Amino acid sequence: MTVKNFTIQCPAPKASTDRIVMAHGGGGRMSQRLFEEIFRPAFANAALDARHDGALLALGGARLAFSTDSYVVRPLFFPGGNIGDLAVNGTANDLAMCGARPKYLSCGFILEEGLEIAKLQQVVETMRTAAEANGVELVTGDTKVVDRGKADALFINTAGIGVIEHPVSPTRIEAGDAIVVSGDLGRHGVAILSVREGLEFDSPIESDCAALWPQVERMFAEGIDVHCLRDLTRGGLSSALNELAAAAGFGMQVEENAIPVDAAVRGACEVLGLDPLYVANEGRFVAFVPARDAEAAARLLPGGAVVGAVTGEAAGRVWIQSRMGARRLLDMLSGEQLPRIC
């Protein structure tokens, strides 16, 4: 009886496993569980099991990468970009993270009845520009229309094919590898959230949404033996490192002091109650390179910084040395931080 009353007055948060919740799309622990429990058992195969940003395929003598993402970002237009360049850069970047030169994209539009065609045209124009920046061609596509109220103006799916130029993979991560980030963190998430929350800054924080292949290509061209790459999208740096530590079976340690975060982004994160290490980026990645190449890699990247190293201890876990000198576990994002960030 007492227990019953207690339950009614103060229900424990039930792990809602019978219905989809927003956190299933957040890129954190719940997304991972959905993948492990629903998708992976059904489609089990080597490419999917590799947990790469894309599938690595051998086809008729070609070594290809293949990747897809759907884009449901809200709002459609935000400082520094819109759903169009996000959709082109996002998938092209996933190919780049496989060490592949992006070549071809497909594009599926789901349009809500009533969408202004001028807006669609603006999005498509941005996609054209982004495709040029990535050196990809949009070669095949599809358009569906759903009734008013059954979509949110516009969703875009892109899938991409790239040609692998250098072997990068979580399995190539080694103890002693340096961890290099390609630029300052948190801009995309803060740009989106500041629009949603109506925050105003002296100078608006723009999304970092960008084509990453040109940066990756520069490292390859300079002869850096990049072991692994991962873009820091949903779940941010923390989730990417945790996924890779688990996949590679190594520990990792990063130094909070070394991780570049712009002062304005840091300030906005404090106002919004966010941790920039968990905030999504759309034009930043982490590279694992031999220690001897760490400084060279950081110099080649527009805002590159060596932020830590792979260690032999505590396999699968990521540690962070804080500004104050304390060492703590840097955990994976467990729920959702920012829904519909991409």
Q: Which of residues 302-341 bind a copy of itself (CB under 8 A)?
A: 339-340
Please select the residue that binds a copy of itself; options are 7, 36, 39, 222, rule is CB under 8 A: 39
Please select the residue that binds a copy of itself; options are 45, 198, 202, 273, rule is CB under 8 A: 45
| Minimum CB–partner distance for residue 315 and a copy of itself (Å) | 26
Please select the residue that binds a copy of itself; options are 36, 75, 113, 258, rule is CB under 8 A: 113
User: CB within 8 A of 158, min separation 6: which ones?
Assistant: 68, 69, 71, 87, 88, 90, 91, 105, 106, 107, 108
Contacts (CB under 8 A) with a copy of itself, residues 156-175 = 157, 159, 161, 163
| Minimum CB–partner distance for residue 197 and a copy of itself (Å) | 16
User: Which residue is listed with tokens 């130029």?
Assistant: 165
| Minimum CB–partner distance for residue 34 and a copy of itself (Å) | 6
- Nearest CB to a copy of itself, comparing residues 26 and 99: 26
Distance from C-alpha of 77 to C-alpha of 60, rounded to nearest angstrom: 41
- What's the distance, Cα to Cα, between the start and end of the chain in Å? 47
Longest dimension (CA), the chain: 71
- Nearest CB to a copy of itself, comparing residues 122 and 321: 122
| Minimum CB–partner distance for residue 163 and a copy of itself (Å) | 6
Chain centroid to Cα 208, Å, comes to 12
User: CB within 8 A of 312, min separation 6: which ones?
Assistant: 175, 250, 251
Site membership for a copy of itself, residue 120 (CB under 8 A):
yes
Distance from C-alpha of 44 to C-alpha of 40, rounded to nearest angstrom: 5
Choices 144-152, 208-216, 296-304, 321-329 (CB under 8 A): range interacting with a copy of itself: 144-152
| Minimum CB–partner distance for residue 236 and a copy of itself (Å) | 17
Q: Which amino acid is at 39?
A: F
- Residue 37 in tokens: 């429990």
Bond from prior residue into 41 cis (ω within 30 degrees of 0): no
Q: What are phi and psi of 46, to 5 degrees?
A: -60, -40
Contact between 315 and 250 (Cβ < 8 Å): yes
Please select the residue that binds a copy of itself; options are 77, 133, 152, 167, rule is CB under 8 A: 152
Choices 2-10, 102-110, 189-197, 297-305 (CB under 8 A): range interacting with a copy of itself: 102-110
Closest CA to 73 of 272, 266, 234, 221: 234
Cβ neighbours around 48 below 10 Å, total: 14
Please select the residue that binds a copy of itself; options are 117, 263, 324, 326, rule is CB under 8 A: 117
Site membership for a copy of itself, residue 103 (CB under 8 A):
yes
Binding residues with a copy of itself: total (CB under 8 A)? 80
| Minimum CB–partner distance for residue 82 and a copy of itself (Å) | 14
Contacts (CB under 8 A) with a copy of itself, residues 195-214 = none
- Nearest CB to a copy of itself, comparing residues 126 and 253: 126
Q: What angle do CA 19, 24, 28 make, to 5 degrees?
A: 150
Contacts (CB under 8 A) with a copy of itself, residues 123-142 = 124-125, 127-128, 131, 137-142
